[in-house]
Structure 1
Amino acid sequence: MDSADTEDDFQDACEIQPMPCSMDIDTAMEEARSAVHYFFNNKFEEAREILKPWAETSMYHAVGNSVFLFLEAMLTFEQGHIEAASDALKHCIAVCNKYRKKSTITESIGKMVKKTNYEQYTTEEIHAELCYAESLLLKSMLTFIEDETLVSFIKAGLKIRLCYNSYKECMNILNTRKWQHENHKIHFESGVRMGIGAFNLMISLLPGRVIKLLEFIGFSGSRHVGLKELELGYKLHNSIRQILCVMALLCYHLIVIHVFSHFEGDLDFCDEILKHQLQLYPDGVWFLFFKGRLEFMKGNIDESISWYTRSWKSQSVWPQFHHLCFWELTWTNSIKCDWREASVYAGFLLEESRWSKTIYSYQKAAILIMLGENMTAEEKSEIENLMRNAPQWKQRIAGKSLPMEKFAIKKTSRYFTQENSLVLPAIELMYVWNLFKVLGKKHHLVLQMYKIIEKALVRLNEQQERTDYDADNRALVLLLKAACLRQMRSPLQAEECLQTVLSLEKKLKEDLYLVPYAMVELAFVCKDMGDLNRASQLLEDAKKNYTGYSLESRLHFKIHAFQADLEETKQSSDEKVPESSKF
């Protein structure tokens, strides 16, 4: 392997090489499979007991133990857990390096002019290469939250590059090696498919300018390749990492794609996956959660709430996982316009989660405001306290403020400027979190939301006194109304509302984000009506003509996905046109 790989700074932390491991690779893989089975059945301690005794010397036990600590760090964001996960991953990398193929300088130079003979690799060496790639992937992700300096970003970038190259090496091994034992191949292949698939999916989601930079330094990403690789890994039943492919596919189709794009995930495929996984792990916290998410994306809100509640109550070892369920229960109840119930779960997040008290404070206040005339005196007082306290908890992650925190702080200031009032704040949050596509799944849900938005518009029109924020409030309500109308399949009415938003551009005082967001919404309307050229132009205008507004990066992810979709649609329609009609 490249000598630079072994000289990276994060490997220096473990100077003492692990003692020889008396556990053979087949036993190690079998124990790793058992630990995975325990883990996804909520038997976290049993899984840990299998892995921890051998984590000092066995690569598979070291990776498994590190994954546990990594997940704990991700769920808690507590410094102690982050440091424990970081130390475990440093040691894991050292263990993997002990078993990786060692190349002399002559061999390294020779690799530049001739292909590597992977037949010379032992079983331990090829699996060490894969475990090394997996450890680097986790370590690079952890580096982004370990400290806040630019140096940490550079380190993370270097580790991701090493990781990417290591996965490519593993793919070469998979494709060229003559496998003697099918068992060794299937466990190795599932890991390679998972890594290559996840990398391709992650890179494909990034905005175009970032992709161009990554391609310049040797990265590439294709959504189709990513999904294909993960689906191939998913079909490798009884392999250790098959379940990781399952998790990656469910995350992509049910969460990532809905947050970062306008696409619809493959819900039928997710249904198929979950039926099988819930047979294997009927009380598994992860699959109960994903089942709740699937029903949510289908618009089956009551069923979704039931599954999320089962997931939340299925285990107590990791209370941090409850917060994921509370987040979803906040928004499932908001979709139903059950604001008081939604505020209960928003309150749980504020009290228990360490992620962002600023966002949680504003979120709960925004939901309580939706109670309107039904609000109690205690709730009015609570809203004021939440709005006043939210800015003091602002944090910096990786040296930067969270865009959603900055958005929330602006809104808390606006609340007091507008004499303790905001217009449809929770529905605005639902829009920026990309939840309107759920409303469109069931007519009664979108109709109920539409009526609330219409009442707010009537109140704005009836106001006698004008304020500095009249244009901002009116533009917001019209954008939300247009989004509802698009979900209700009324494109012409939606376009009329959006054109009014665009006409208010020069009158906006603060909510400058509304104009580029309205342009992208109008692009969706144009696509629905079959005008792909106009949709493309609107996306280009939104991307190039506007900058410095709230939640800009979030919109750029959506624009990138939409442009890729339009390009595919155009290519597909061109292929269907007979050659003779193209002149």
Structure 2
Amino acid sequence: MARPAAARGLKLVISNPQEWNDQNSCRRTVPTLSLPAAANCDQNNGRSASPNLFDKSPLQGIGMSYEFEEGLCPEDTQSTVSTNSCSPSLTQTSAERALAEYALVEEIHMAQRALDLFLNNRITEARRLLEPNIDTSMYAATAHSVLLYLQAIMTVSAEDAKAASKALRDTQALCAKRCRGRFSRSKRTEEQVHAELCHAECGLMLSALVLSEDPGLTALVKSGIRFKSSHSTYQTCANILRERAWHNQELRRHFESGVRLGTGSFNLIFSCVPSKHAKYLSMVGFSGQAKVGNAELKSGADPGALRGAMCALTLIGWETYGKIMLGSGICDVDFAGEVLSPLMRQYPSGAVTLFLAGRVAQLRGQFTEALDYFNRSMRAQSEWKQYQHLCMWESMWCHCFTLNYLPAAELAHALYKENQWSKTTYAYLTACFLLMLNQQEAKLNGETVTINEMLKEVIARKQKIAGHTIPPEKLAEKRYKRYIEQEKDLVFPAFEMSYVWGGMSALHQRPDIVQDILAIVDGKIAEIGPGGAGAKKGKGSSRIHSDSIFTLKFFRGVCLAYLNRVEEATGVLDEIVNAEQHISEDKFLCPYASVELAQMFLRMDDLDKALRYANRAMEFKNYFLQAKVELRIGATIEMIEEREESLLKSPLEEKSSSNEFYTPPSSPEP
């Protein structure tokens, strides 16, 4: 008897279990894939218009059966049936896989809806959408864990940290079940590779939260282990993206945005590691480049992908905060504005987008516009009070830069009362602004506040994270002691704290304000006396500490550099660079002055002098804030090298190493 012709296709029938047909019978059928009627593809946006698969009522009692062509039994089928790009792919031996892929797409769409709700300030609605499904849907569980993680980071509350950690661990356990064991990359289903990705995302967030629960050495080791595990899983996902032949392009698109978010973030993180530590991290597989990280995040910022918005937000955050606080202090604010524009169109009233618009305006020196954005962001949502505190923090610096110290003091005092992040820092800043006003006390938010009581809180409210005092609190403690030594006086305290935070980079665009600050500094120097005559080197009868004189001279040099008065700036800052033997405590002024000179000459394309001063800055050792300063030095040297290559019209070649974090190209079309 002649063998029947090969099957042209397979029909998957979704029906009630009582109506299942005998799968062993062979009948002639139309070669189609039948899914629920509501599952038709929306041709406008490429998403399924089907109901939520995790709403139990639509699928309750649903079963499935296979119908094969006449004369052909299931075990004889080997060919693949392809469907349109919006539907799950299907092999004749794995119809369940098609339904699993369809369900996975629905999971991702649910997470997208939750993200849209969150970015539109509807946080409670986002939680309500996700919570019924966190035990069954890995994407609902991951999205819900992200919300709890963000809340824990903002509140700095032990209870919130524990709740977020539990949610992240539960999500990892759910992802592990969805992986169903380890297989070769080619044999893993779409569901399994997405489970790997979600597991890696949760591991990265969990590594940060472990320190919040326990700041001891044991927690630090645990955090490192989780961080390494997440890093390794992202490497695996990157290889999967490169090597896998994807049947469902929508799932590939979402997966790629997640991989690029992870690889980009890790590259940015490791690019901040000082060179002296980077060589040790490379031995265990950690390394990264800021250029690679930026490129990955740009590629991942696909508006239609689940993590596209997160890639864009991470890119903006790195440009407006990462480069300033952990890098050279120089950012491309125009590029940040370009990345933000599509998000502003999509979420014009979103608290997050309004805040970032305010930050971009602030870095452009548009302080009035920035204050307006921050106020709108605070009004946009009231569920997360701590988010409003972030807006208050940036508004405080806008007032400081425009020399409006009283509203800045009110915001600092409000943060001291309401926020738990660092009471010491807030108390010190409140005192700083009152000192800038030359007022020993003031009425702030309806309460009488004095400098003395605020500075006492600096000592009383100190805290340690991972066994160490954070730098702003350490600086506040040093300045409290200086305040006592100088008979209750400090020199230019608010702008000193601003400079340490990297905030003064916003003044590059405002020479008018820089000119006013320079006048204040010159007036203070004149008040003390020519050359700081009578200043003391240590404890003694003179009122002003000699280091305070050097601090004033340093800020004078910075202002001159911002005003492009090169010769004057070089003379003043060179004096600071060569004054290490005369500075008793604030030795960080010397490398900072050298970096300022390096960046000034970099702006002029005098790269030889820029590199010389950058290398000179690296020679200073054993001073307060050394790790932070060395990050800035390293980033400045990298900028000089890139500029040299640019002037030579030779693109900078990527460094290659067996320990480099692997960055995949776009995955091939199936």
TM-score, length-scaled by structure 2: 0.78
Contact 2:598 2:611 in 1 (8 A): yes
* Distance in 2 of aligned mates of 1:399 and 1:408: 18
Deviation at 1:390, TM superposition (A): 0.9
Deviation at 1:261, TM superposition (A): 2.6
- Give CA-to-partner distance per residue, 1:185-241, whole Å, 9 cap, x none: 11111111111111111111221122212211112201111111111111x222111
Structure 2 counterpart of 1:280, from 324, 331, 346? 346
Aligned partner letter, 1:433: W
2:419: which partner in 1? 353
Is the contact made by 1:205 and 1:557 (CA closer than 8 Å) also made in structure 2?
yes
In structure 2, distance between residues paired with 1:393 and 1:92: 36
Q: Aligned with 2:330: secondary structure?
A: coil
What letter corresponds to residue 514 of structure 2 in structure 1? Answer: V
**Counterpart among 485, 506, 510 of residue 581 in structure 2:** 506
CA distance in 2, matches of 1:439, 1:564: 23
Residues 509-518 or 321-330, more deviating = 509-518
By percentage of residues, which structure has more helix? 1
Equivalences for residues 494-533 of structure 1 within 5 A? 494-533=569-608
User: Is 2:113 the partner of 1:34?
Assistant: yes
| Cα 1:318/1:203, change in 2 over 3 Å | same
Number of residues of Structure 1 aligned to a counterpart in Structure 2 = 543
**Aligned residues: percent identity?**
32
Q: What's the CA shift string for 1:429-481, capped at 9, x where partnerless? A: 12212222211202211111111111111112168754345421211001001
SS at match of 1:567: helix
Q: Deviations over 1:255-300 (max 9, x none)?
A: 1112223353332332233222122212211100000000001110
Would the aligned equivalents of 1:436 and 1:483 in 2 still touch at CA under 8 Å? no
For 1:435-454, list aligned pairs within 5 A: 435-454=503-522
In the alignment, which residue of structure 2 is the partner of 1:111? none
> CA, structure 1 residues 377+145, in 2 after alignment: closer, same or farther (shift >3 Å)?
closer
Quick check: 1:69 aligned with 2:148? yes
* Corresponding residue number in structure 2 for 1:4: none
Query: Where does 1:337-376 land on structure 2 (aligned, <5 Å)?
Result: 337-372=403-438
- What CA deviation, in whole Å up to 9, does each residue of 1:59-88 have, x standing for no partner? 101101110110010000111000001111
RMSD of equivalent CA atoms? 2.1
CA shift at 1:377, angstroms? Answer: 6.8
Q: Which shows bigger deviation, 216-225 or 533-542?
A: 533-542
Contact 2:441/2:450, CA 8 A, preserved across alignment? no
Counterpart Cα distance in 2 of 1:396 and 1:495: 39
Corresponding residue for 2:243? Answer: 176
The amino acid that maps onto 1:445 is I
Unaligned runs of 5+ in 2: 1-53, 60-99, 539-543, 652-670
Q: C-alpha distance in 2, partners of 1:531/1:281?
A: 43
Q: Is the 8 A contact 2:197 2:234 kept in 1?
A: yes
Which residue is equivalent to 1:50?
129
Amino acid at match of 2:570: E
Which amino acid counterpart does residue 178 of structure 2 have in structure 1? Y
What residue identity is the alignment partner of 1:474? I
1:327 is aligned to 2:393: yes
Which amino acid in 2 is paired with 1:86? S
- Secondary structure of residue in 1 paired with 2:199: helix
CA separation in 2, counterparts of 1:451 and 1:298? 22
1:413 aligns with 2:492: no
Give SS of 1:545's match.
coil
- 1:574: Cα distance to partner? 4.3
> In structure 2, what is the Cα distance between the partners aligned to 1:171 and 1:136?
16
Output the CA distance in 2 between the equivalents of 1:342 and 1:306.
15
CA distance in 2, matches of 1:530, 1:275: 31
**What secondary structure sits across from 2:114 in the alignment?**
helix
1:239–1:339 distance in 2 versus 1, CA, 3 Å: same
Larger Rg: 2
What is the aligned counterpart of 1:211 among 250, 258, 278? 278
CA shift, 1:375, in A, is: 6.2
Match of 2:319 among 248, 253, 262: 253
- Following superposition, the deviation at residue 405 of structure 1 comes to 0.8
Residue 361 of structure 1: CA displacement? 0.7
Q: CA deviation at 1:529?
A: 4.6
Find the partner of 2:138 among 42, 56, 59: 59
8 Å CA contact 2:119, 2:347 repeated in 1? yes
Quick check: 291-300 or 200-209, which moved more? Answer: 200-209
What residue ranges of structure 1 are gaps of 5+ in the alignment? Answer: 1-18, 108-115, 578-583
2:192 alignment partner, one of 125, 132, 146: 125
- Which SS does the other structure have where 1:432 is aligned? helix
Matched, 1:460 2:539: no
Distance 1:465 1:226, change over 3 A: closer
Q: Deviations over 1:348-402 (max 9, x none)?
A: 1111110111111111111111112x66577896111111221111101111111
User: Is 1:390 aligned with 2:458?
Assistant: yes
In 2, the alpha carbon distance for the partners of 1:545 and 1:153 equals 29
Q: Which residue of 2 aligns with 1:478?
A: 553
Question: Partners of 2:143 and 2:361 in 1: how far apart?
Answer: 31
- The SS at the match of 2:113 is helix
The answer as to whether partners of 1:491 and 1:529 remain within 8 angstroms in 2 is no
